[in-house]
Structure 1
Amino acid sequence: MELSPDTEAVLAYLQAYSGNTLRKMRDVGLILEVAAQRNVAALANDIIFTGAALWRVYRVWKRLPPSAEGYRTVTETFSESITALRQLLGQLLEEAPAEVQQRFQETYLRLAEGAVRNLVDLAHDLSWFKQLQNDMRRRRGESPQE
Structure 2
Amino acid sequence: MQTQDSPIRFDTKITVLLRNDLQPWQSLNVTAFLVSGIAAAVPELIGEPYEDADGTPYLAMFRQPVVVLAGSKEVLTAAHSRVLSRGLPRSVYTSDLFATNNDQDNRAAVRAVPRDELDLVGLAVHGPRNAVDKIFKGAQMHR
TM-score by length of 2: 0.28
- TM-score normalized with structure 1 length: 0.28
Q: Which has the higher contact order (CA 8 A, sep 6+)?
A: 2
